[in-house]
Structure 1
Amino acid sequence: MSNSESPLTHTVGHNYGSTQSTSGTSQDGGAIGRRPNVPGFVANNAGMLYIISSQFFFASMNLSVKMLNSLEPPVHALEVIVVRMGITLICCVIYMIVTGVSDPIIGPKGVRTLLIIRGISGFLGLCGLYLSLQYLSVADATVLTFLTPLATAVAGCLLLKEGYSVTQGVAGVFSLLGVVLIARPPFLFNSMPAVIPDRYYLQEATPMQRLMAVGASMIGVVGATGAYTSIRAIGKRAHPMHVMTFFSLWCTVMASLGMVIFNIPVVYPRSWQWSLLLLMVGVFGFVAQTLLTLGLQRETVSRGSTGVYVQMLFAVVLERLIFGVVPSLLSVLGATIIMSSALCVVVGDHPVPLHDSFTHLIIS
């Protein structure tokens, strides 16, 4: 069933998928205006490749956040959000002003409500993740966030009238299995050692703190599901920087209000490592969000969200390169399952466009 039947995806006004004029032919499920020097595989799977690339930067950002939490005094999650999203907001606005994108602040007509929903739901998703990282390991927090693809697939079917193939369903289940093998949450693998050095876990979380962190993570899953679904519903009716501007604006405002309401003190940099880590969070988050937005605008949420599982693979690799952590046999097995599942989705399924011009490949 085509998602064009959903009123959420009804096209009104400018289509940012056709901002670059190229010649080409249109075929059902084919790329419009495909450049001759772009391989067909890349053009047909541009959205998934964007999403997979974004997961490297998300994994880098999560490790940076966890390292920030290990500093004394630790940086509260809301302060990290203010700094990170403030950097993103400034970058987005400057980009749109310099390149002449229309309506840089309020966004184009017809999708402003969806942009607001994207901003609020994105804040909930980000806040839930950062709060959970205060008392959970990166592995445990990541494995909980991987409930998002399953929830997003259901939301896409119900709200956007998107299809969900058997290949995507099987790949999703096997990918989740791979994530569990890599993360090895304690409630399933009590005897297995942690995959990140103990120096990043200076305080042992109490059962209540861990339960609160899990609850925060579940709120983050709900928020991320709303964010993914709204981005897909917006599609190419808004520039990617419009989507990111609303996201970063709402996150900055709501996190700032949260710090005032809950009387959370501002922690100022006391070392160059502090400043560097916070800058890394901002830069990695901006690049990751840009790539994710570009990808979700080109993919159905059920297919695109499957690529999110690759983040766990990047986390394992980064831990090996940066911290010298040697992955266990279970981690290698889980990584193999994740990569195989993602490859099956990319090769076996083809993206279903919201409307014809959505398969136009933008290279910027």
Structure 2
Amino acid sequence: MPTSQDSEVSSNGPAYRLNPETTSESTPLLSNSLQKRCWDKFLKLPGLGFMCSLGSGVFVAICSLMFKLLPSINPLEILVFNSVFQTAIFASVIIKTREPLFGVQGERCFLLLRAIIGAVSATLIYSAFQLIPLADASTIAFSAPVFVNVFACVLLGESCDGFHVVTVLTTVTGVFLISKPPFLFRDEQDSDVSTSDRISGSCMALGGCLGMALVFVVMRKLKRTSYSSINIVFSSSIVILDSVVLTVINEWSFPHCGEDGWFIIVSVISFTVASFLQTAALKLEEAGLVSIGRTINVVLSFIFQVMLLEERVGWTSVLGAVLVCSSVGVIGIKRCKNST
């Protein structure tokens, strides 16, 4: 999902909390001191970061819905359109602010690693939308924050206590219920989703989720690289990777104008706005609270699936979503308490 990708940049404490002085210098639209003062006051509004995280979750859900409403178009092609637009937006920011395109020296290898892993992760997650119900794919992808501590423990040597083990096991159980393996849920299989598609889609979503968790760990090494550089390299990587894949499998379709064209436009706008709001939320608020705010993505996905897509929701999917959201919520609350 967009960029759903950076919702847990920091495991403990504030995640890139916004400095008013730095913001004023790096915001090209603020041309005089009055505008700067107004901007600084706006940034200090209570709950602004949490509201940005809610907004990000809403636009991620809308973007995901557009993928489901375009079944005749390969999801990778839609992802390419979204990434091209986002690349253009961040390229204009870099040109205006004159920031280094490929980040600062000493962090470029991590920037490249973040872009490659993020591109593969996004490709897997959005491909899963074509195979399994919207709410199921969104829930599995949303569980990424739970696995951050696992990778941080293995790669960065951070502590991993019993609390994290329990949340991981709870999350895996939730994903297991959503995937509905046929050897345990033979009577609960969806009539509109084949067993092979459900298993393949769930594995794709889980693979994308693990990739996102790894991205969050790598992001901790990008302390001086600007978000504009991170996002433009990431978006460009998606364009290159998915364009090559679409060319190899010969799946370019180039949608016609009309309803499909409007869905593409809504998807592009939602993808970019979600990325912007998520970045703003991470700069303004603790990562734990941001992850809690983005649970609205899962809630909206269930609503969209039932009311707009007219697909039934099984009890295993609901129970799995409750387990996953509970794990993410508990981790978010613990991180908020640790940062105070």
TM-score normalized with structure 1 length: 0.66
Q: 1:140 aligns with which of 136, 160, 163?
A: 136
Determine the structure 1 residue equivalent to 2:64. 62
Instruction: Label 1:117 to 1:75 Cα distance change in 2 as closer, same or farther (>3 A).
Output: same
* Residues 35 and 332 of structure 1, relative CA distance in 2, 3 Å threshold: farther
Q: Please state if 1:151 is matched with 2:151.
A: no
Following superposition of structure 1 onto structure 2, how do residues 1-364 of structure 1 map, counting pairs within 5 Å?
19-20=22-23, 38=44, 42=47, 46=49, 50-69=52-71, 74-98=72-96, 100-103=97-100, 105-160=101-156, 185-187=179-181, 204-205=193-194, 207-235=195-223, 237-260=224-247, 262-296=248-282, 305=291, 308-319=294-305, 322=308, 349-350=335-336
TM-align CA RMSD: 4.4
Q: Quote the Cα distance in structure 1 between the aligned partners of 2:78 and 2:313.
A: 29
Shift of 1:80: 1.6
With over 3 angstroms needed to count, the CA separation of the structure-2 counterparts of 1:317 and 1:169, relative to structure 1, is: farther
> What TM-score, normalized to structure 2?
0.70
Q: Closer, same or farther in 2 for the Cα pair 1:146/1:265, shift >3 Å? A: closer
In 1, Cα distance between the equivalents of 2:58 and 2:165?
A: 23
Cα offset, 1:51, TM superposition: 3.9
Choose between structure 1 and 2: higher helix proportion: 2
Unaligned runs of 5+ in 2: 1-9, 26-39
Secondary structure class of the residue paired with 1:19:
helix
Change (3 A) 1:56 1:170: farther
Change in CA separation of 1:175 and 1:210 when aligned onto 2, cut-off 3 Å: closer
Q: By how many angstroms is 1:277 displaced?
A: 1.2
Cα deviation, residue 175, structure 1 = 7.3
Number of positions where the alignment pairs a residue of Structure 1 with one of Structure 2: 312
Residue 20 of structure 1 aligns with an amino acid whose one-letter code is T
Partner amino acid, structure 1, of 2:93:
Y
Moved more, 298-307 or 115-124: 298-307
Q: For 2:221, what is the secondary structure of its paired residue?
A: helix
Tell me, in whole angstroms, the C-alpha distance in 2 between the residues paired with 1:49 and 1:164: 30
Which amino acid is 1:232 matched to?
R
What are the ranges of 5 or more consecutive residues in structure 1 without an aligned counterpart?
A: 10-14, 23-33, 354-358, 360-364
Q: How far is 1:53 from its partner? A: 3.4
Shift in CA distance, 303/158, structure 1 to aligned 2, threshold 3 Å: farther
1:268 Cα deviation (Å)? 2.2
